[in-house]
Structure 1
C-alpha cells in the first residue's frame, strides 16, 4: 500500500512539474507571439526600422533571426525601389519631349507631364491605369496610337493639329524581357517640332528669295552689258541710260548683299562692340541723313524727346540702323505734304521709341508678316523705292538682341505707328 502511495505521489509530482513547465512555456510562447504580432503591425505600417527583440534559442530563436533578416531585406529592397522610382520620375519630368507607355490593351502604364499637355489629358484625373480612349483628347494622335497598337515594327510620323502645332511621333513596340516575339505594349515619344518646321520653311524660303532677289539685278546687268557689247553704234544718250541702269542694279545688288551679311551677323549674335549710346545723338545723325528726302516730298519730320540724356548699352551702328530703317521707311511710304513724328520717352522702366507716319498704311492681313525676310506688302512699290525686303527683319533682330520688342499698329490709307521697347537692363 505504501508503494502505491509512493508511486501516486511521484506521478502527481511529475504531473505538477510538467504542468508548471507547460504553463511557463505557454506564457513565454504567448509573449513571443505578441512580439511577432506587434512587429508585424509595425512592418505593415512601413516602419521597417522595427526588429524582434527575442532572445530565445533553438528553432524559435532561428525563426526570430530569420524574421529580422527578412525585415532588413524588405527595407533595403523597398528603399531601392523608391529611389529608382524617384530617379525615373525625375528623368521623365526633365525630358522636354512627351513620353507615353501603354500595355497591349491600351491602358496607360507610364506618362510624363509634357505628354499630358500634348495629349490634352485632364489635369485633375489620375491618368496611369486608364485606357487611352478615356484620357487622350488629341484625336489625331489617338488615332495613330490605336492604329499602331500591337504592331511589331517601329514607326515615325508627323502630325499637324488643328492649332497648327506640328508633332513628330515615334512609336516603338515593347517586348517581354529576353523574349523578342512577345509584345507587352508600346512606347510613344512625342516631340513638338513646330519651330523646327517653321525654321526649315523659313530657310527654304530665304534661299529661294535670295536666289530670286540676286537673279533679278544680275539678269538686268548681264542683259544690258550684252546689249552694249553687241551694239557698238548705240548713241551716247542710250548708252548712258543703259550704264545708269547697270549702276543702279549694281548698287541694289550691293545693298542686298550688305543687308544679308548684316542680318546673318546679328542672328549669330556676333561680338559687336558694345558702348554707351545716346539715343538723341544717334537720332540727330539719322535726321541729318534723311531730312533732305523729307524736304523733297514736303514732309515735316518732327521729333520729341522727353529726356535727351537717355542712353542704352548696345552697338551704336545697330541702334542707328534701327532708327534709320524706321524713319527711312516712313519717308518712303508717306505721300507728299504730310508729316512724320518720332517720339522717345521712358515708361514703366523701359525706353519707348515711336515712329508715327501718315503713309499708305499696311493691310491687316500683312501686319503679322512684315518683319519676315523679303516680305513686301507691295512688291512693285518696294522695288521702286529701293527696298531690299530685309530692313524690318534686320530691325526686329537688332531690337531682339537688346532684349526688346517691336510692334506695329496700322490702318490702310491712314498711316502706321511702329513702337520699339527697350527694357531697363540696357539703361545706362
Structure 2
C-alpha cells in the first residue's frame, strides 16, 4: 500500500513539475512572441533601427538573430531605394524638358514638373498611377502620345498648339530587362521648341531679306555698268547720271554690309571691348556729324543733358550707334522746319535717353514691328533717305546687350518719342 502511495506521489510530483515547466515555457514563449509583435509593428512603421532584445539560445536564439539581420538588411535596402528614388526625382526635376514614363497600358509611372505643366496638370497633384487618358488634359498631346504608345521603334514628331507653342514629342520604347522584343512601357520626352522655331524662322527670313537687299543694288549696278559698256557714245550728262546712280547704289551696298557686320559684332559678346563711356562727349561727336543735315532742312536740333558726367561701361562705338541711329532717323523723317530734341538724364538707378521729334510719325499697326530686321514702314521713302532697314534692329540689340530696354511712342503726322533706359551699373 505504501509503495502504491509512493508511486502516486511520484507521478503527481512529476505532473506538477511538468505543468510548472510548461507554464513557465509558455509564459516565456508568449513574452518572446510579444517582443516579435512589438518589433514587427515598429518595422512596419519604418523604424528600422529597432531590434529584438532576446537572450535566447538554440533555435529561438537563431530565429532572433536572423530576424534582427533581416531588419538590418531591409532597412539598408529601403534606404538605398529611397536614395535612388530621390536621385531620380532630382534628375527629373532638373531636366528642362517634360519627361514621363508610362507602362504598356498607359499608366504613368514617373513624371516631372515640366511635363505636368505641359499636360496642364496640377503641380501639387500626384499623377503617378493615373492613366494618360485622364491625366493629360491637352487633347493634341494625348492623341500624339497614344498614337506611338507600345511602338517598338523610336518615334518623333512636331506638334503646334493653338496658341502657337511648338513641341517635339519623342517616344522611346522600354524593353524588359535582357530582352529585345518584350516592351513594358515608354519614355516620353516633350520639348518646347517655340523659341528655337522662331529663331530658325528669323534666320531664314534674315537670309532671304539679306539676299533681296543685296540683290537690288547689285542688279542696279550691273545694269548701268552694262549700259555704259554697250553705249560708248553716251553724252556726258547721261553718263554722269548713270555713274552717280552706280555710286549711290554702291554706297547703299556698303552701308548694308556694314550694318550686317555690326549686328554680328553686337551678338558676339566675346569680342566686345568694354570701357567707361561719357555720354555727353559721345553725343557731341554725333551732334557734329548730324548738325549739317538738320541745318539743310532748317530743323531745330537741340539737346538737354541734366547731368554731363553720366557714363556707362560699354563699347564706345555701340553708344555712339544708339545716338546716331535714333537721332539720324528723327532728322530724316522730320519735315523741314521741324524739331528734334535729345534729352539725357537719370532717375537714380537708370540712365534715360530720349529722342523726340515732331516728324511724320509711325502708324499704330507698325509700331510693334519697327525693331525687326529689314522692316520698313515706308519702303520707298526709307530707300530715298538711305535707310538699310537695320538701324533700329541694331539699336535694340545694343540696348539689350546693356541690360536695358527701348520703347517708342508715336502718332502719325505728329511725331515720335524713343526712350532708352539703361541700368547705371553695368559690368
The TM-score bracket by the shorter chain reads over 0.9
Tell me the secondary structure at the aligned position of residue 283 of structure 1.
Answer: helix
- Structure 1, 124-133 or 315-324: larger mean CA deviation: 124-133
Q: Deviations over 1:168-219 (max 9, x none)?
A: 1112233333343333333211111111111111111111111111111111
Q: Distance in 1 between matches of 2:291 and 2:66?
A: 97
**Paired residue secondary structure (1:368):** helix
For residue 144 of structure 1, what is the aligned residue in structure 2? 144
Is the contact made by 2:342 and 2:354 (CA closer than 8 Å) also made in structure 1? Answer: yes
| Aligned match of 1:372 | 372
SS at match of 1:29: helix
Using the size of structure 1 for normalisation, the TM-score is 0.96
Report whether the alignment pairs 1:7 with 2:7. Answer: yes
Cα distance in 1, alignment partners of residues 376 and 71 from structure 2: 76
Task: Report what 1:181 is aligned to.
Answer: 181
Residue 324 of structure 2: aligned partner: 324
1:153 corresponding residue in structure 2: 153
> Per-residue CA shift, 1:122-164, capped at 9, x if unaligned?
2343222222232322222122122223333332111111221
1:288 and 2:288 aligned: yes
Gaps of 5+ in 1: none
What is the CA-CA distance between 1:49 and the residue it aligns to?
A: 0.4
Q: 1:270 to 1:43 in 2, by over 3 A?
A: closer
Change in 2 beyond 3 A, CA 1:364/1:312: same
Is 1:208 aligned to 2:201, yes or no? no
Matched residue SS, 2:425 = helix
| Contact map agreement 2:113 2:123 (CA 8 A) in 1 | no
What RMSD, in angstroms, separates the aligned Cα atoms of the two structures? Answer: 1.6
SS state of the match for residue 126, structure 1? coil
2:49 aligned partner: 49
Partner of 1:69: 69
Instruction: Specify the SS of the correspondent of 1:153.
Output: coil
State the alpha-carbon separation in 2 of the partners of residues 215 and 70 from structure 1: 81
Matched, 1:170 2:164: no
* 1: CA distance, partners of 2:91 / 2:116: 16
**Match of 1:385?**
385
Match of 1:395 in 2: 395
Could you tell me how far apart the structure 1 residues matched to 2:213 and 2:60 are? Answer: 94
The question of 1:59 aligning with 2:59 is answered: yes
1:101 — aligned with what? 101
Alpha-carbon contact 1:275-1:315 (below 8 Å) kept: yes
Mark the CA change 1:138 to 1:411 in structure 2 (over 3 Å): closer, same or farther.
Answer: farther
Does the residue aligned with 1:191 lie in a helix, a strand or coil? strand
Query: Which SS does the other structure have where 2:177 is aligned?
Result: coil
CA–CA distance in structure 2, aligned partners of residues 228 and 405 of structure 1: 49
1:249 counterpart residue number: 249
Contact 2:108 2:130 in 1 (8 A): yes
The answer on whether the counterparts of 1:122 and 1:135 sit within 8 Å (CA) in structure 2 is: no
Residue 314 of structure 1 and its aligned partner are, at CA, apart by: 1.0
Answer yes or no: is the 8 Å Cα contact 1:305–1:344 preserved in 2: yes
Structure 2 distance, partners of 1:383, 1:86, is 62
Structure 2: gaps of 5 or more residues:
none
Q: Which moved more, 1:180-189 or 1:366-375?
A: 180-189
Offset of residue 271 of structure 1:
2.5
Partner of 2:273: 273
Deviation, structure 1 residue 348? 4.9
Deviation at 1:273, TM superposition (A): 2.4
Is 1:24 matched up with 2:14?
no
The CA distance in 2 between the partners of 1:413 and 1:136, in whole Å, is: 52
For residues 77-124 of structure 1, the C-alpha deviation after alignment (integer angstroms, 9 at most, x for no partner) is 100110010000000000000012222333222111011111221234
Give, in whole Å, the separation in 2 of the partners of 1:391 and 1:409: 17
Task: State how far apart, in whole Å, the 1-side matches of 2:160 and 2:408 are.
Answer: 30
1:11-49 Cα distance to aligned partner (Å, 9 max, x none): 122122212211221221122112111111111111100
SS in 2 for 1:304: strand
Tell me the residue number matched to 1:225: 225
CA deviation after TM superposition for structure 1 residue 279, in Å: 0.8
Partner Cα distance (1:158, 1:396) in 2: 32
CA distance in 1, matches of 2:364, 2:68: 78
Alignment of 1:330-369 (within 5 A): 330-369=330-369
The change in CA–CA distance for 1:63 and 1:115 in structure 2 (over 3 A counts) is: same
Deviations 1:209-248 (A, max 9, x none): 1111111111111111111111111111111111111111
- Report SS of the residue matched to 2:369: coil
Once structures 1 and 2 are overlaid, which stretch shifts more, 137-146 or 229-238? 137-146
Is the CA contact (8 Å cut-off) linking 1:276 and 1:312 kept in structure 2?
Answer: yes
Runs of 4+ off more than 4 Å: none
